[in-house]
Amino acid sequence: MEYMSRTVQIDAEALLQTVANLEKYLESLRNAIGLLNERLLEVKIAREALKRINSENTSDIIVSMDKDSNLMVKLKANIDGNPLVHLGLDIYAELPYDRAESVLAERENSITEELKRMSKEYDEKNKEYQKLQSLIYALSQQR
């Protein structure tokens, strides 16, 4: 049985450009995943706060006045009415506690699914990147 030898020509500049583009894409995916993780954490914090406010035995509530908790205030927990929940597009709705919890839970699930999708895409693109890096290394060793 005879094997034919094949010579494959690779455009080094195109290969390096592909790797550079892939690096940029991976960086943008890492940034997007980081932002989604922040959003997920914020929704979880909101759900926990809603549970604390809705509990019967709450006397005082400590509320952060900014995202990084640079300022916190203690409030007496005699909250009247229903919470206002962000629905998107800068629209808020006053909803009963159980419905507000449901909206936040749906948001948490949605973000979690998007995180899974992006993480899978990141893993796939990272494998592709590693293969290209290995190819570049192998080609550099042949010279």
Q: Is the pLDDT of residue 15 over 80?
A: yes
Cβ atoms 29, 119 nearer than 8 A: no
CB-CB neighbours of 83 under 10 Å = 21
Average pLDDT over residues 92-110: 93
Q: Report d(CA 32, CA 17) in Å as an integer.
A: 23
What is 12-54+82-142's CATH topology?
A: Helix Hairpins (1.10.287)
Task: Please give the pLDDT value at position 73.
Answer: 85
CB-CB neighbours of 85 under 10 Å = 19
Q: Report the range of poorest mean pLDDT among 68-72, 87-91, 106-110, 117-121.
A: 68-72
Cβ atoms 66, 42 nearer than 8 A: no
Average pLDDT over residues 126-130: 95
Strand, coil or helix: 105: helix
Average pLDDT over residues 111-139: 93
Strand, coil or helix: 39: helix
Task: Please give the pLDDT value at position 77.
Answer: 64
Strand, coil or helix: 84: strand
Task: Please give the pLDDT value at position 5.
Answer: 55
Task: Please give the pLDDT value at position 90.
Answer: 86
